[in-house]
Amino acid sequence: MKLALWLKNSGTSARELAVRVETTQATISRLKNGHALPSLELAGRIAEATGGAVTANDFLDPAPSERPGNGLAGARILLIISGGIAAYKSLDLIRRLKERDCELRVILTRASQEFITPLSVGALAGAAPFTDLFDARTEFDVGHIRLARECECIVVAPATADLMAKIAGGHAGDLATAVLLATDAPILLAPAMNPHMWANPATRRNVARLAQDGVSFIGPAEGEMAESGEAGTGRMSEVPEILRAIENLIGHSGGEPLKGKHVIVTSGPTHEPIDPVRYIANRSSGKQGHAIASAAARAGARVTLMTGPVEIPDPLGVETLHVATAADMLKAVEEALPADIAIFAAAVADWRMTAPADQKLKKKPGAQEMTLDLVQNPDILKLVARGHKRPGLVVGFAAETQDVVENAKAKRRAKGCDWILANDVTHARGVMGGEKNAVHLVMEDKTEDWPEMTKQQVAEKLIVRVAEHLAHAKAGAE
Ligand code: C5P
């Protein structure tokens, strides 16, 4: 298959290409292995991304290629098995994942236990599966939040129509759904259901919603169903296909383009005390900055994250320093330097109290007005971008409500950084604290307008751009 060859020769991972052509890694993997045909639109984007090396015609003559080697060794995978007849294939999936030296944890839904038993799963996985959200023993031992966080990806195989509806609706009534809601790891679903259920408009809506939320799919495949006499699209994909989709999803086969690099990232708001009980802050959730730190770590970088007060967990594999004020954040950043790359995603408060009060400020009898004496905070991005320890690549963010790109261009020059990721934070878009972002990457010589995508996808795409930039800079220096 030409696409497989192009990926191999150009050293591009399926994940990178997926980000560039705005699809999922699972789709690229299926195209690469000749298991699917792209839409004309997607084929066009692939032709553009490959500089015309792979065109629509090249997909018409697929010769399935097997991936040699093992990209899954050491991968921490959480497998959720939901209740369908295809659950028996998941026993084989467990065996194959163990053969590949994965660190595997398994969750069984209540319905799946009608098809396979915790005993057989535990015997194959080498550890007891998790079954209950309210099991005092396992909740105390590991807990659903740890299950959600201590993995590189979650694979749901089989994924029933019912479970997909629950995930799409944000339910968290049992262990599987609670973990899926709490995770920030990539999710791969291997649906399996009756063809009528798969074709039902409700399922179509749920699949579209999940894909929009950044969830990847493998299958379902076409063919005969376990129920006698039924055929159509709805069979769970075969185990080798699921394994390949997992490999592509977690990018183990994509190399580590930022290996040996130190990346510092700021994230979240800052809290500037007014008095012992009040502070100045903003609505930043830290989701975008944390996603960037996580993506940089997955790309092999050593990452130091400086975060203001947020409600979300520290990203996996990242040294996370918790600070409160802009002054603390600046100090932490200065101490973390030198770095190769610095990405400033924090929404630092512009002002702080000239002198925070030692005691709680009281209302003054008869006075309707109150004036706070504020002074500007240090601009961390500007100080680093113009400082003597300036990293090779400095990236800032611009949250704008009007003339987004024009303001970002001016900001790039004023701050002295290399790139600005500009996003429209008009209230109606729900960016602050929300899941999605529509951003523009403003560089010295060009601006890229990225389509609306999840904050994880923005993070992945930014890290791909960073890796490309480093590769060009290296090639230029040689
Ligand atoms: O000037 P403005 O706040 O719009 O600039 C936003 C960018 O500058 C972001 O990258 C933010 O992290 C960074 N910044 C900073 N320190 C400040 C203010 C903003 O690092 N005091």
Contact 163, 109 (CB under 8 A): yes
pLDDT score, position 433: 55
**Cα 111 to ligand 1 centroid, rounded to whole Å:** 50
**Cα 308 to ligand 1 centroid, rounded to whole Å:** 13
Instruction: Determine the length of the chain.
Output: 478
Testing ligand 1's pocket by substitution, the residue of 381, 401, 423 carrying the most ligand atoms inside 8 A of its CB is 381
Testing ligand 1's pocket by substitution, the residue of 284, 344, 386, 441 carrying the most ligand atoms inside 8 A of its CB is 344
Contact 212, 273 (CB under 8 A): no
For residue 421, the cross-strand partners are: 397, 441
Q: Whose CA is nearest to atom 2 of ligand 1?
A: 398
Distance set, CA 271 to CA 86, 277, 283, 372 (Å)? 51, 11, 11, 16
Testing ligand 1's pocket by substitution, the residue of 337, 352, 379 carrying the most ligand atoms inside 8 A of its CB is 379
Testing ligand 1's pocket by substitution, the residue of 348, 431, 439, 458 carrying the most ligand atoms inside 8 A of its CB is 348
**Cα 348 to ligand 1 centroid, rounded to whole Å:** 6
What residues contact residue 208 under an 8 Å CB cut-off, 6+ apart? none
**Cα 316 to ligand 1 centroid, rounded to whole Å:** 25
Residue 200's SS3 state is coil
The enclosing H or E element of 320 equals strand 319-322
**Residue 381 Cα: closest atom of ligand 1:** 20
Cβ atoms within 10 Å of 406's Cβ, excluding its own: 12
Q: Whose CA is nearest to atom 4 of ligand 1?
A: 398
The enclosing H or E element of 344 equals strand 341-344
pLDDT score, position 68: 33
Q: Are strands 419-424 and 439-442 parallel, antiparallel or unpaired?
A: antiparallel
**Residue 420 Cα: closest atom of ligand 1:** 10
Q: Give ligand 1 pocket residues (Cβ under 6 A).
A: 266, 326, 344, 346, 348, 377, 379-381, 396-398
Question: What residue ranges do the domains of the chain occupy?
Answer: 2-60, 68-250, 262-353+372-477
To the nearest 5 percent, what fractions of the chain are helix, strand and coil? 40, 20, 40
pLDDT score, position 227: 67
For the domain made up of 2-60, the CATH class stated in words is: mainly alpha
Contact 100, 72 (CB under 8 A): yes
pLDDT score, position 99: 86
**Residue 350 Cα: closest atom of ligand 1:** 21
**Residue 415 Cα: closest atom of ligand 1:** 8
Q: Whose CA is nearest to atom 21 of ligand 1?
A: 379
**Residue 349 Cα: closest atom of ligand 1:** 21
**Cα 284 to ligand 1 centroid, rounded to whole Å:** 12
Packed helices 87-99 and 239-250: angle between N→C axes, nearest 10 degrees: 60
Token output for 466:
């960073």
Token output for 220:
């379902």
Distance in angstroms (rounded) separating the CA atoms of residues 12 and 5:
10
DSSP conformational letter for 125: H
N- to C-terminal Cα distance for the chain? 32
**Residue 395 Cα: closest atom of ligand 1:** 10
User: 262-353+372-477: CATH homologous superfamily?
Assistant: CoaB-like (3.40.50.10300)
Considering 70, 200, 282, 407, which one is annotated as catalytic?
282
**Cα 451 to ligand 1 centroid, rounded to whole Å:** 23
Q: Which CATH architecture has domain 68-250?
A: 3-Layer(aba) Sandwich (3.40)
Testing ligand 1's pocket by substitution, the residue of 271, 288, 380, 394 carrying the most ligand atoms inside 8 A of its CB is 380
**Cα 302 to ligand 1 centroid, rounded to whole Å:** 23
Angle at 315 between CA 299 and CA 30, to 5 degrees: 45
**Cα 466 to ligand 1 centroid, rounded to whole Å:** 20
**Cα 417 to ligand 1 centroid, rounded to whole Å:** 11
Q: What dihedral do alpha carbons 94, 252, 292, 81 form, nearest 10°?
A: -10
**Residue 378 Cα: closest atom of ligand 1:** 21
Q: Whose CA is nearest to atom 13 of ligand 1?
A: 381
Q: Do domains 68-250 and 262-353+372-477 have the same CATH topology?
A: yes
* Residue 9 falls in the annotated catalytic set: no
Q: What is the pLDDT along the chain (478 residues), one digit of tens a residue?
A: 688 889 888 888 888 898 889 888 878 877 887 666 777 778 888 989 998 888 877 776 533 333 333 567 778 899 999 999 999 999 999 999 998 888 899 999 999 999 999 999 999 999 999 998 877 767 766 688 889 988 989 999 999 999 999 999 999 999 999 999 999 888 999 999 999 999 999 999 999 999 888 888 998 988 777 666 777 889 999 898 898 788 777 755 446 789 899 999 999 999 999 999 999 999 899 999 999 998 898 788 999 999 999 998 888 778 999 999 999 999 999 999 999 999 999 999 999 999 999 999 999 899 899 999 999 999 999 999 999 999 999 999 998 888 999 999 999 999 999 999 998 877 555 555 566 678 999 999 999 988 877 787 788 889 989 998 998 887 777 6
Q: Whose CA is nearest to atom 5 of ligand 1?
A: 398
Distance in angstroms (rounded) separating the CA atoms of residues 86 and 158:
6
pLDDT score, position 255: 61
Cβ atoms within 10 Å of 358's Cβ, excluding its own: 7
Q: Whose CA is nearest to atom 17 of ligand 1?
A: 379
Contact 431, 397 (CB under 8 A): no
**Cα 187 to ligand 1 centroid, rounded to whole Å:** 32
